[in-house]
Structure formats: C-alpha cells, structure tokens
A and B are shown apart, each in its own frame.
Chain A
Amino acid sequence: MAQTHEHGDHSHPAAPMVEEISDFEILEIAVRELAIEKGLFTAEDHRKFTEWAEQIGPAGGSRLVAKAWVDPAFKARVLTDAVAACREIGIDWAEPTGQGTPSDYMELRVLEDTPTLHHVIVCTLCSCYPRPLLGHSPYWYRSPNYRRRLVRWPRHVLAEFGLILPPEVEIRVEDSNQKCRFMVLPLRPAGSENWTEEQLAEIVTRDCMIGVALPRPDRKADDVRPVHQASRPVGGEHHEPGSGP
C-alpha cells in the first residue's frame, strides 16, 4: 500500500487506510439505507447529526464549571445530580439535540478539587469520556501509555503534562467505566475574582476538566497559538507570519 500523495511541489506516502469494505461496514450502510427508505429518518437528518457529532467540543463543560464557581447552589446540584444540573446549562444527556450522545450512559459524577485533593480521570479499559460535556476525547486519553501509567504513577504522568503538584496535594485517579462518566471541577484560580461567568468559562480548558492541567487566569482555550519565528528568515529580514516570502 505504498501509495504517494501529491501536494503541489512535494509528495509523501499516503496515510494508510483499510483497503477493503468489511461486512460490518456493509451492514451499517444497508441498515441506514433501509431505515431512510422506511421513513424512520431522512438522509438530511443523518447528515446533520454526523456533522454535529464530529465537531462537538468542551464548551459545555467550561460553562458548567464557570457557573459552579459563581453559584454555590448550582455547585451543590452539580455534585449531587450532575446529569440534572447539566440541563440547567442546556445540555441534556438524553436528547441528542441537547448535546447528549448515544454512546454515553446517563450517569455522570463531577469530582470537586480542593486545595489538598486533585482529581484526574482516565479510562483504563478503553476510552469512556463525558462526551456531552467535553466533546471527543484527546488522542492521548485513548493511548495505552496514559491508561496504564496514570493509575500507577499519577504524579509522574501529570508532571509529563507540565503539571507538578506539591507533595501535600493528594492525587485521586478516577477510572471511568461503561456505566459512569466523570469530570473534574477544578479550583477557581486566584486572579479571577470578580470575573463574569463568560470570562471564567474561557479559562476552563478541556485538560483542566480531565485533570491534567489547572485553570490559570492567563490562559484561554482559544489563545493564539505560539508561532515559531524562522531562525534564518529569507533575505535576512523578519516577516510577519502569513505575509509570504
């Protein structure tokens, strides 16, 4: 399968893809086509859900955390019945259009960090993840490396993410499973006093809710990505990124 893939002035080997159609793939297509013909749903419905499913992100989780930070009564509800509390921020785990996804069970527990206790979530068996709140899991969450090592050496693994916790902070690893999903409610950072819920939500990134990072008032999910300046720019002059050679 050593095919190459052209990109104008260069080519590289194509990423490998399975070069056959399995019976399972054929079954999926056949079931879908027949369901559409029977009027159970339309091709347009299916396309919309597919498009939506591939773009869900962690914004719901960020809103949940921000609201819990500013509203103690809401936080209490989050900690006692997280699925119900999600509905208050517009996420219904049962209704697809409310961002619930069918691959998620209706059981969610939100784990509150304290100054002496830090939570981090993993799925040692596979890749269970609170998708209605956080979207799709990152690749490393599904990697055997993370899944196997986090439970044994949590402090070391967190340090590999750049999160170095003082020894007096206990680390608790929660293993997601088929029946229950978890999410971390991190500590609100100093320096975010008097912020609005919207401002707070911006600093609650996906990794903070998995537990491999802590929210910081100076870091947002949509920060401009760092750009490496060329060490030897063409013509010896500095060029702004995107300004062309």
Chain B
Amino acid sequence: MSGKTGPDPAASNVSGAELSPIPLLDAIQDEGGTWEELAPRYGVANPDPPWKVSLYAIFECLSAGGALPSLERRHIEDRLGETLYGRTPDPERQLLALADTLLRRGILSEEDLARRMDAVRARHEGS
C-alpha cells in the first residue's frame, strides 16, 4: 500500500480509498499457476500463455466500446501492479487488474464471477 493521498490522476479511476484485497482474486494470485510456472513444467517454449491474445482483445473491445479506455486501464495496471498484484507477473497481473476494476466498479459481482469460474472449470474438466 502506498498510503498516497495527493492528487493522482491515475488513482481517481480506481478508488479514492485504500484498496483492500478482493478474496477471489487474491486466492487466484496465490494459487493460480502463472505461465512462468506452468510452461517449464510441460516443456513449453512459447513465452506467452495461449489466452493472452484473448485478454488483449478484451482490452481492445472495452476501449473501443468506451467502457474502459486503454490509457486509463494502463494507469490502473500501474497502480494495482505496485500494490495488490505486485507479486504476479504480466500478463496474469493485467488480467487480475482488469477483473479487479470490473468488480470494484460494480460491472461484475464477485459472486457472479466465482460462479462463472466454477462453471468454466467444470466445462473444461469435463471435456
């Protein structure tokens, strides 16, 4: 936590108050399995996880539609990357920052997101 209270244009888009961790995202950060950890385990040389291009397309879509302009998102990533998600590398950190932003803005709810993650996991493990 930076404890910063001065005018910070980047911060105004996140929240004026000190950010508290979001349990769902915190758990993923601790146990999620980043590409840096997974790739060597399977002998995979590709430097990026296969879902990275899809994440970046989400960024593009949100910016194009006006929901979250790219530059604003980058400021948020900077701030959250130095605080809540500092122990996770990109692109996982960018993904956490995006989910964090959508949750804090009330666009998604933590319950909905957790439920959907369970459904996605069940769908993939069943295949």
Contact = CB atoms under 8 A, between A and B. Distances in A.
Interface of A: 1, 16-35, 38, 40-41, 45-47, 49-50, 53-54, 94-97, 100-103, 105-106, 127, 142
A19 B3 CA distance: 42
A31 B60 contact: no
Given A31-B108, A40-B107, A25 B44 contact: no
17 contacts: A1-B43, A23-B32, A24-B32, A25-B50, A27-B99, A29-B51, A30-B117, A30-B119, A35-B61, A40-B61, A41-B61, A41-B62, A41-B64, A45-B61, A50-B54, A101-B56, A102-B70
B113 interface: yes
Given A40-B65, A45-B64, A100 B70 contact: yes
Contact of A29 (B62, B67, B120): B120
Contacts of B120: 26, 29-30, 33
The list of the 4 closest CB pairs from A to B, nearest first, reads A41-B61, A102-B59, A23-B32, A49-B57
A176 to B, nearest CB: 15
A94 B28 contact: no
A16 B63 contact: no
Interface in B1-59: 28, 31-35, 38-39, 41-45, 47, 49-51, 53-59
Contacts of A31: 58, 95, 98-99, 102, 108, 113
A26 B117 contact: yes
